[in-house]
Structure 1
Amino acid sequence: MKIKWFGHSCFLITSDNGTRILTDPFDETVGYSLPHTEAEIVTVSHNHFDHANVGVVKGDFKHIKDAGNFTHGDIGIKGISTFHDELSGTKRGTNIVFVYSIDGMSICHLGDLGHALSQEQLKEIGKVDVLLIPIGGVYTIDGDTAIEVIKSINPRISIPMHYKTKHLSFELAELQSFMEKMDGKKYPSNEITINEDNLSEYPKVVALDYI
């Protein structure tokens, strides 16, 4: 499969048979170029301007924004209820973590997770091959808590998201400190191709470039 980063928390995941999943599309105020793309599935972790701009997506797609179990062809999707802050949602509401079963692998998108995960939530998430994790703090977990979450989930690789770049229009923590602590590597592209056989060739933490 291919995983392409459009910036912020927005990724296009394309399965080997061509099914496309777009995660958390943002609006024009965020600073990145809008993800004008077609998709068969669009998942939204929560209804904020930088995650829920489904109107930008082309085509006839399935919009998933709730907890529960969903299927589309041979792709399984599980939505797991979490919170957007460390106070059970009293500051910023709820957040849905999505786990996608694609091409024999498990991809987990944490959305705007605002807290460390409980044992029950970790059990619901289950085994993860690729973890898409926010690290920028302010509105989500910060880099240190992200490291704790990575250790608790134990994915084969982790891809950071939701952090400050020169394109982002508001303040979050930058990538460098997190990458240094995790001995992460920057990938020279905004798209990565993964399969069961090549996952072990990547570093445990790989940041995609924004192009």
Structure 2
Amino acid sequence: MSLSKILVWGALAALASILSHPAHAQSDEPGCRPEMAGYRLPIQRAALAKDEVRLTFVGHATFLIETPGGVRAATDYNDYVRPRETPDIATMNKAHSTHNSRNPDPAIKYVLPGWDPSGRGAAKHDITLGDMRVRNVPTNIRSYSGATDYDGNSMFVFEIGDLCIAHLGHLHHPLEPGHLRALGRVDIVLFPVDGSYTLDQEGMVEVLKSLQAKVMIPMHFFGGSSLERFLRRTDGVWATERKAEPTITLSKASLPAQPTIIVLPGN
């Protein structure tokens, strides 16, 4: 075959490949791209003791939470960044497409939207699966027009043994006493730190002070500059630990004596 024919056939093959693999839809938040497949969990993982919980920062606002009984929950489950393994429970929020899924895996046992899709009021969830209880505390968000979307977001609380984990979702405003009462004791808080799409960083510091969680894990920080700005702001307020891996195992007994920010790699 001549060189010219080889080049023609090569070009046609490349074009066919492109047409058979259409581009993904783009996110409406920076820093979360379709090619981010999320942290790939190892196939074999150490068994958890009965009082332990394993947290993996998958990316953006998604964490995989695993219990000793093998129940898995994914926070702000979406179509861009997902854990490798199908969770049993998926929580979602609607502020941006990077916080919810139009096509959740049908194998998920419970898909919990943080808003009422019917628009009749606040979402209400309180389920128990195995050794995990999941419930929500509604909050408001700003709509695209700038108006208040009442009860448009939820903070989700995961109760596993003696540990209470709160994921603040796409929080847009300070917490009021009613929110704090509904949340109850929080041992571990997963909080957005971008300071623009969600609550400003000064406001987030006040939220964390009111929660008094022993472990605070930042998320939603779009690469690193907003995270570093937040950590400079909290220097001297709380201790900070940086982990090399996106997975951490915690128990009530292993919680730090003083509130500590634990940074897991991701974005």
Q: What TM-score do the two structures reach when normalised by structure 2?
A: 0.68
Q: What is the aligned partner in structure 1 of residue 107 from structure 2? A: 59
- Are 2:64 and 1:12 equivalent residues in the alignment? yes
Displacement of 1:16 in angstroms is: 1.2
User: Which structure ranks higher in relative contact order (CA pairs < 8 Å, sequence separation ≥ 6)?
Assistant: 1
Q: Retained in 2: the 8 A contact 1:67–1:96?
A: no
Displacement of 1:27 in angstroms is: 3.0
Distance 1:41 1:180, change over 3 A: same
Match of 1:118 among 172, 176, 180: 176
Distance 1:114 1:161, change over 3 A: same
Q: What is the aligned partner in structure 2 of residue 204 from structure 1? A: 260
- Are 2:234 and 1:177 equivalent residues in the alignment? no
The size of the alignment, in residue pairs, is 199
Displacement of 1:92 in angstroms is: 5.5
Unaligned runs of 5+ in 1: 167-172
Q: What is the aligned partner in structure 1 of residue 44 from structure 2? A: none
Q: Retained in 2: the 8 A contact 1:143–1:178?
A: yes
Q: Within 2, Cα distance between the matches of 1:197 and 1:130?
A: 13
- Please tell me the residue identity of whatever aligns with 2:76: D
Match of 2:134 among 74, 77, 92: 77
* SS of residue in 1 equivalent to 2:69: coil
RMSD across aligned positions (CA): 2.4
Match of 2:167 among 86, 109, 120: 109
Q: Within 2, Cα distance between the matches of 1:69 and 1:156?
A: 24
Give me the identity figure in percent.
29
Unaligned runs of 5+ in 2: 1-52, 114-122
Q: What is the aligned partner in structure 1 of residue 87 from structure 2? A: 39
Bigger-Rg structure (1/2): 2
Distance 1:37 1:82, change over 3 A: same
Q: Within 1, Cα distance between the matches of 2:179 and 2:162?
A: 22
Distance 1:124 1:34, change over 3 A: closer
Distance 1:54 1:35, change over 3 A: farther
Distance 1:58 1:104, change over 3 A: farther
Superposed CA deviations along residues 29-56 of structure 1, whole A, max 9, x for unmatched, are xxxx543421111111336311112635
Q: Retained in 1: the 8 A contact 2:90–2:108?
A: no
Q: Within 2, Cα distance between the matches of 1:55 and 1:186?
A: 34
